[in-house]
Chains A and B, each alone.
Chain A
Amino acid sequence: MKKEFVIFISLILILNGLFAQEGGINENDFRQLKQELATPNVYRTASGAPGHEYYQQKADYQISVILDDEKQTLKGEETITYKNNSPDVLTYLWVQLDQNMRAKDSETKAIATNSINNGRMDAKNLKKLHNDFDGGFKLDYVKDASGADLPYVVNKTMMRVDLPKALKPGASYSFRIKWWYNINNRIKIGGRSGFEHFEEGDNLVYTIAQFFPRMAVYNDVEGWQNKQFLGRGEFTLPFGDYKVNITAPADHIIGSTGTLQNASSVLTKEQQARLKTAKTASEPVLIVTQEEAEAAEKQKATKTKTWIFHATNVRDFAFASSRKFIWDAIGVKLDDGSTTMAMSFYPKEGNPLWGQYSTRVVAHTVKSYSKHTFDYPYPVAISVHSKWNGMEYPMICFNYGRPEPDGTYSERTKNGMIGVIIHEVGHNFFPMIINSDERQWTWMDEGLNSFVQSMAESEWDSEFPTRRGPPAKIVDYMKGDKGNISPIMTNSESIFQFGNNAYGKPATALVILRETILGRELFDYAFTEYCNRWMFKHPTPADFFRTMEDASGTDLDWFWRGWFYGTEHVDLSIDNMIWFRLDTKNPDVEKGLLKTEKENEPRFIGTIRNDTAIPKTEVERDPNANDFYSKYDPFEVSVLDIEAYEKYLAKLDDEEKALINMGYNYYQVEFSNLGGLPMPIIVEFTFSDGSKEKQYIPAEVWRFNAESVSKVFVFKKEVTIVSMDPYLETADVDVSNNNWPRMIQKSRFEVYKSSKYGRRGAVSETENKMQKAKRAEEKAAE
């Protein structure tokens, strides 16, 4: 009894302490980010660069896998050599077993919240319900280099390997793992990798990734990054060198991370010659033609071939294999003098779209990203056609975009395909080379990549319908209920509205930083600096924020706080505008002005009616009813007025005199911040002669008062309209309050209805233009 009392008392004291502090907390939007960012240290500097004792671990792999086309299994053996570059002694290693996410006891299934709606379920879902795919890695062994078994513990998608002897700083350790797994049907049960089955010819296209046990990252910020793979937060992987042998049916063509080492034993002489031609060609060259691929499809080899690939300084490895593959390539020459091979692998179902565009888009992406970051350092960049998905790995990615069976395709399919190839090839830069922690921060690779993607898309086609980047595109997301929006700085697995949060909003924020806050020159230098500092290293969000500030010479803490740590939206409003003119004190000018003002004053209706109703007033009729005041003109300039003015002038210097006589107009404009997110005020003034002038007021204008500010603007001309954000650069969610005087903004619904159902007119034709042209051609040939 007594004890409880004591606890109660101390609780009150603690609470009092907390309350007392509240008033003293700095909640200014412009306070520094010191509390949010990690303290700089020897590993990561305050300028955002790697510190003088920065380290990263290295994991080298020797892998041999056998792809069994009949059973759709993959069997593998690997030797991992792990180099401990950290100053720490390690007693265990963590290895990632990503395929276990698809195992029967997967946590991904356990933590998914769900319900059966109204007890109803359609046939397709019912089928999925009875799917009992046996996924996950089946481990045969984990041994040390001498062949002795190593103790290990599998914790779902992570495996701890206990070292017999602690691994000292600077030391290396080699161990071996043997495993196999059932490859999933990507179309039926989904997945980043797997196979697609084609009815015609009963053939498969394999896109294989996360296929081997991979080392987890150990570093100065997370220790071991061994957060479970739940399906969304992607991968965190150390760099290393790979030597991989892939054994597949002899008639398969394989596209892979790395450089092919044994072309002479897996490719025909002709294919080797074509590959050589492609290196310096001006158009993509077919290494395997459609005819050759169609011939290969018709029979199935019983023998196997082993393809050998080596890759240096990569964080992962993936490949694609099929007898259906058409293969084309072109050499891309980069500024540093190196040549990268842009290549594509696709089944005939991808044509004609893939043959025309894939490799060209890969080449464009490599060139465009190299310009914005650093020269692409890998020997190949590959795009593989894989229905329904877009997924990235070092040097290789799997992309959607399939034409109709009749060979025509919609514009959306075409743009979707080009967009996804730019995006996934772009991932080579983020996170394959600028190797951020995807498990922790999706935005660091998706957001930065979507941003550079938007630039690469504009360079591909100025009319390209870029979805992520233009500020106006993010408005619908940002203005929504804040209970359903997470800050960008949220762990990958806990994000609401993933696409907008981790792709769209950060990409938009960077576009705004580049176009509006810093300008292209300062931004581009800082962004390129970040990319080069962290090329082949592991950056954190703080390293990005700090580099952008350090290299541009701009305090952007308020911007990161608002856009990355908060969920508020942008809604600035012009509340009022008051027009002032300077009092010249010149009686000739001022009295004249007062007179005009008086004459222009609105008159009461009764007075106006009296003008005609009363032909003559008594005072007008009878001169004897007049006195001094009847005739006194308050606007008349007297000698005394002039004398006073001359005295006033005598006190002014020439500069002051000139200023007064210029006749400037002064406008006091009152702004308020309704959204909460501070942004620069960008105003455009339209003058009575129709000319315009844009003014830019930095966001710091809000530093003393976050809710409302007023600002005086000086012009020679008279202002008729003020508009805020005229070039849609701030993601302002409500533009109806962006003008003075207010302008009526029609809602989407109203615009739709007033344009008689559809702003683009009737769209429904029964066939697309390609189909129509084809029909015309056929008719002409008859």
Chain B
Amino acid sequence: MRLLFGTFLLLFGTSFSSWSHGYHVSITQIDYNEKTNAIEIAIKLITEDVEFVLEEQGAERLFLGEKNETGKADEYIQKYLEKHFSVVLNDEITTQLYLGKEVEEGETWCYIEIKDVADIQSLKVKSTVFINEYHGQTNRVNLTIKGVTNSFVLSRAKVDDKVVFN
């Protein structure tokens, strides 16, 4: 009971202000490139959220996208994503290659590639990105594989979802 009360308070700290984006959402685009046999992933995060969360977890000030961005920014982001974002392909854990990020007008795009993907029978995406920090965090995933578009919404209530190709 006491534990529950605490998570309620958490909501107060983060989702209040009228303008300074009281909403928390990420969008991930996953495409399968048949020419290169690679899965290409672009994750769009709100830069303020990336900084808030990573700095809360002990990272130095990041200054993402600024001229004085810390040299370790990519390392922090990569580590965070390794822990909180994963793709399971044909029921096997994949090796995700973090390529880098771009910061644009308040948004940070992170790029991940999964190489040597010969065939896709099933694809499961698990995302716990920012769900511990923001009560209302939703992580939307759009997949375009073999010409078919699927879309799912992950949140604290449902951290993973799977598409099966026949």
Mark interface residues in B1-20 (1 if CB within 8 Å of A CB, else 0).
01111111111111111111
Contact present for A114 and B8 (CB under 8 Å): yes
Contact present for B21 and A190 (CB under 8 Å): no
* In the complex, A752 has a CB within 8 A of chain B: yes
Across the interface, B4 reaches (CB within 8 A) one of A114, A747, A750, A764, namely A114
Across the interface, A763 reaches (CB within 8 A) one of B12, B14, B67, namely B67
Q: For residue B15, which residues in chain A have a CB less than 8 angstroms away from its CB?
A: 231-232
Contact present for B7 and A125 (CB under 8 Å): yes
Question: Which residues 731-778 of A have a CB within 8 angstroms of B?
Answer: 747-750, 752-753, 757-760, 763-769, 771
Contact present for A424 and B19 (CB under 8 Å): yes
What is the CA–CA distance of A769 and B68 in the complex, to the nearest angstrom? 8
Q: For residue A625, which residues in chain B have a CB less than 8 angstroms away from its CB?
A: none
What is the CA–CA distance of A391 and B132 in the complex, to the nearest angstrom? 26
Given A128-B9, A388-B17: A122 and B27 within 8 A (CB)? Answer: no
Mark interface residues in A439-453 (1 if CB within 8 Å of B CB, else 0).
000000000000000
Shortest C-beta distance, B61 to chain A (Å), equals 8
Stretch at the interface among B38-46, B88-96, B115-123: B38-46
Contact present for A484 and B138 (CB under 8 Å): yes
Question: Which residues 151-165 of B have a CB within 8 angstroms of A?
Answer: 151-153, 156-157, 159
* In the complex, A286 has a CB within 8 A of chain B: no
A interface bracket (residues with beta carbon within 8 Å of B): 35 or more
Contact present for B71 and A766 (CB under 8 Å): yes
What is the CA–CA distance of A423 and B23 in the complex, to the nearest angstrom? 17
Contact present for A412 and B47 (CB under 8 Å): yes
* In the complex, A70 has a CB within 8 A of chain B: no
* In the complex, A692 has a CB within 8 A of chain B: no
* In the complex, A189 has a CB within 8 A of chain B: yes
What is the CA–CA distance of A479 and B71 in the complex, to the nearest angstrom? 35
Q: For residue A412, which residues in chain B have a CB less than 8 angstroms away from its CB?
A: 47, 65-66, 106
Given A112-B135, A191-B16, A749-B41: A764 and B71 within 8 A (CB)? Answer: yes
Shortest C-beta distance, A202 to chain B (Å), equals 23
* In the complex, A98 has a CB within 8 A of chain B: no
Mark interface residues in B99-120 (1 if CB within 8 Å of A CB, else 0).
1101101100101010000000
* In the complex, A126 has a CB within 8 A of chain B: yes
Contact present for A400 and B6 (CB under 8 Å): no
* In the complex, A410 has a CB within 8 A of chain B: yes
Contact present for A109 and B10 (CB under 8 Å): no
What is the CA–CA distance of A486 and B163 in the complex, to the nearest angstrom? 25
Q: For residue B152, which residues in chain A have a CB less than 8 angstroms away from its CB?
A: 481
Q: Which residue of A lies closest to B6 (CB)?
A: A129
Q: For residue B41, which residues in chain A have a CB less than 8 angstroms away from its CB?
A: 749
Q: Which residue of B lies closest to A767 (CB)?
A: B68
* In the complex, A779 has a CB within 8 A of chain B: no
Given A391-B19, A757-B99: A765 and B27 within 8 A (CB)? Answer: no
Across the interface, A497 reaches (CB within 8 A) one of B8, B11, B23, namely B23
Contact present for B6 and A126 (CB under 8 Å): yes
* In the complex, A143 has a CB within 8 A of chain B: no
Q: Which residue of B lies closest to A117 (CB)?
A: B132
* In the complex, A655 has a CB within 8 A of chain B: no
Q: For residue A782, which residues in chain B have a CB less than 8 angstroms away from its CB?
A: none
Q: Which residue of B lies closest to A409 (CB)?
A: B66
Shortest C-beta distance, A535 to chain B (Å), equals 22
Query: What are some 24 contacts across the A-B interface (CB < 8 A)?
Result: A102-B12, A108-B8, A112-B8, A112-B11, A114-B11, A116-B3, A116-B7, A117-B128, A122-B56, A122-B57, A129-B10, A188-B13, A190-B14, A391-B19, A392-B18, A410-B66, A416-B106, A484-B138, A500-B25, A749-B31, A753-B40, A764-B73, A767-B67, A768-B63
